[in-house]
Copies of this chain bind each other. A is one copy, B any other.
Amino acid sequence: MSAPMSPEAEPARVPEGILVHPTGARSRRVHEAALRATCDLLDEGGLPAVTVDAIAERSGVSKATLYKHWPSKTAVAAEAFGRRMAETVALPDTGTARGDLAEQVRLVSAFYASPAGTVFAQLLAACVSDPGAAPYFRVYFLHGRRVAIGVLWERAVRRGEVDPAIDVETAIDILFGPLVFRLISGHRPLTPEEADAISGAALYGLLRHTSTGAD
């Protein structure tokens, strides 16, 4: 809705409108303690290990206070996961849009296949039954990712390598939606080969090319 697009943009601007919670020195410390404990729990047992009671016990933050800072445990986990992952964003630069995008699809595919990818899937799934947590996931995780891909796309547009009529949002979803689909439903594996097949087909399109040329 309103999230600023710059890499360093502070969430303090209240993106999505409602991620508000107590402020002040003490509250900030409490907030961080809860996020740190939640990260540990995610590492140890994924999202299922993240229960409100566990966060409270591990962090020393009381349950009532947790509910004053977040609408649900999923929201805490989304913020904790998003904040940590924000550090690990590294964009490829191969010289061509084709190369950059294909590489990025490969990277994201590998990420999804990793343990962190499992957590990503659990969070994504949890947001379906926990609408209050969805904004947290979008703001603290998805948003940063989409911004990063946006940089790649803009670069490609400036170079004239991609179709400028295509919205970046559409492009992102076409490249990564297939990976998400597979991650969630598990109907196909997430291997580098599959990643290349997907990026290849997405970049060049599904329709026959020779038909436009000659033949």
Interfacial residues, chain A to chain B (CB-CB below 8 A): 2-3, 47-48, 97-98, 101, 121-122, 124-129, 134, 137-138, 142, 146, 160-164, 166-167, 169-171, 173-182, 184-188, 194, 197-198, 201-209, 211-213
- Contact at B160–A174, with CB atoms within 8 Å? no
- Contact at B212–A161, with CB atoms within 8 Å? no
- Contact at A204–B205, with CB atoms within 8 Å? yes
- Contact at A188–B212, with CB atoms within 8 Å? no
Copies of this chain:
4
- Contact at B129–A48, with CB atoms within 8 Å? yes
In the assembled complex, how far is the CB of residue A69 from the closest CB belonging to chain B, in whole angstroms?
A: 20
**Chain B residues with CB under 8 A of A164:** 208
- Contact at A162–B125, with CB atoms within 8 Å? no
- Contact at A171–B201, with CB atoms within 8 Å? yes
- Contact at A163–B2, with CB atoms within 8 Å? no
- Contact at A138–B187, with CB atoms within 8 Å? yes
- Which residue of chain B is the closest to A124 with respect to CB atoms? B184
| Contact (A176, B170) CB under 8 Å given A128-B125, A142-B187, A163-B209 | no
Q: Of B3, B97, B174, which is within 8 A of A201 by CB? A: B174
- Contact at A181–B176, with CB atoms within 8 Å? yes
16 residue pairs of the A-B complex, CB under 8 angstroms, read A3-B187, A48-B129, A97-B207, A138-B187, A142-B185, A142-B187, A163-B201, A170-B178, A170-B197, A170-B198, A173-B178, A173-B198, A177-B180, A177-B181, A178-B178, A202-B206
- Contact at A161–B211, with CB atoms within 8 Å? yes
**Chain B residues with CB under 8 A of A177:** 173-174, 177-182
Q: Of B134, B161, B174, which is within 8 A of A174 by CB? A: B174
In the assembled complex, how far is the CB of residue A19 from the closest CB belonging to chain B, in whole angstroms?
A: 15
